[in-house]
Amino acid sequence: MTLRIAKLIFILLMGAAPAVFADDAGLLREIDRNLNPESYESYRKLINIEPNGKKKEYIMFTVKKGVDKMVVLFTSPASEKGRSTLRLGENMWLYIPNVGKPVRITSLQSVVGGVFNNADILALDYTAEYNVEKVEAMGEHFHLHLKAKTKTVAYDRIRILADRSRKIPVKIECLTEKNMLIKTLYFKHIKDFGEGIVRPSVIETDSPLYKGYKSVMIFSKLRRRIAGDEVFTLTYMPKVDSLR
């Protein structure tokens, strides 16, 4: 065995060389499932932190079904209580009780302000919105390079750094078509929620477009649940609280 071949074998065994997988889309689907069950409910606390340290907190109850349906109910603070948001594929709506009629919202807007936008709060499976351009295996991580399937999604490109053994995101960079960084999501504090659900319980985000600002999302009571299709309709938005 030549020295050159020996070095190549060593590199491959150590996982230091990029590798392209036969089923890159399958790897992304596995990451989706490890991050969230296909259908579930959960509570989330969202905290917006300003450069001066001022904080504003929201509590949200979430129900997701399949790859493209999600409804979110705001339970706190009192000023937001009873509001709900609905996502069906690329379409999003906001319901405000004293307005009485759902209004359309966009993925890049934010119903809570801060660095998280509506696409982050009403996040679908990545396989629903992105194609895998390339996968690399480097040491203890996978690097997935994703391209949006349509022009309507919030981010044209996404780079996922995932734990190689758990196949769970560690960091996600959200970029424009020209690869300009919009924001970075950090996945922290792996937690066992039961029912075989082991995933990060905290997502933090910052952005070079909002210097000094940070938003944090904390998950609790995440469990599997399959809700009826009627839950994910405009007429049901005033009644989401009945699901709790």
- For domain 17-237, is the CATH number 3.30.1330.30? no
175 bridge partner residues: 157, 181
pLDDT value, residue 17? 39
pLDDT value, residue 23? 80
54, 42 Cβ separation under 8 angstroms = no
pLDDT value, residue 2? 52
**Mean pLDDT per 10-residue interval, the chain, length 244 residues:** 45 42 82 94 98 97 95 96 95 92 93 94 93 94 96 94 96 96 97 96 96 97 97 97 96
* Token duo for residue 74: 């705001």
pLDDT value, residue 3? 45
Cα four-point dihedral sign 150, 104, 68, 235: negative
Residues ≥6 apart with Cβ < 8 Å to 143: 135, 136, 137, 159, 160, 161, 162
Q: Where are the domains of the chain?
A: 17-237
pLDDT value, residue 100? 76
141, 46 Cβ separation under 8 angstroms = no
- Look at the block and give the residue holding tokens 């769970």: 168
36, 167 Cβ separation under 8 angstroms = no
pLDDT value, residue 7? 42
